[in-house]
Amino acid sequence: MLTSEARFLWSMNILVIGASQGTGALAVAAALERGHRVTAFARTPQRLKMEHPNLRLLSGDFHDAAAVAGAVPGHDAIIITASATSMQAFKDNPNYFSMGTAHVIDALKKDRSVRLIVLSALGVGESRKLMNWLLQKLILSFLLRLPFADHERQEALVKASGLKWVIARPGRLTDGPSRKSYQKKTAIEPLPSSISRADVADFLVQACESDAWIGQAVQLGG
């Protein structure tokens, strides 16, 4: 097994699903900066507006099993950052996260050596304990009930997959540069309630390279 240091020196083939904007786009940039070859998978990957000799744009739908199955082969790690841009999308498809993630897991059954890195959220699973009573009732159980319920289903699928997986659970996402001084905790312990998308992207790429968090959900704040 490669050490974390060796993995950093090894140029990987990384597939970023949901790569056209937000944390996904930042993960593409972070992976390229660290010397990896990246496939940016999205419905409209051209929105990425990025050119690099190690970047390949691939158009496809996260919820199309055939498109996902065609995108997965040939990669060392898969990062799932795909998310809906409105609550209506979750009303139309309450399984937005879990449905697409299930397609990725099915596509990976032929090669279980590939790493699966999944972007979830602080407040999912046992990390719900880190949210105060008001946030639990107002946000998790009311305003964002549908996406958080589906993140629960998504995480359950990932944990049962038998793959080399890492789940990232960031707090409230903010804009701004990556400071790389954020906290990463596998234990359910207090940590800053927000983190920049750029720092989350930095962690997602680190999780591709390192053995440190395999089989764990990691709370992120900073």
Residue 95: domain span: 4-221
Q: What is the pLDDT of residues 45-63, one digit of tens each?
A: 999 989 999 999 999 999 9
114-157 pLDDT, tens digit each: 999 999 999 999 999 988 777 776 676 667 789 999 999 999 99
CATH number for 208: 3.40.50.720
pLDDT, tens digit, 9 for 90 and up, residues 78-109: 999 999 888 888 889 999 999 999 999 999 99
The amino acid that residue 30 corresponds to is A
Question: How much is the pLDDT for 4?
Answer: 41
Q: Return the SS3 of 67.
A: helix
Please count the other Cβ atoms lying within 10 Å of the Cβ belonging to residue 197: 20
* 24: Cα separation from own chain's centroid: 8
Report CA torsion sign: 191, 195, 199, 205.
positive
- pTM value is 0.92
- Report the number of distinct structural domains present in the chain: 1
Contacts of 28 (CB under 8 A, 6+ apart): 16, 19, 38, 40, 48, 50, 55
152-177 core/surface letters (b: 16 or more CB in 10 A; e: else): bbbbebbbebebbbbbbbbbebeeee
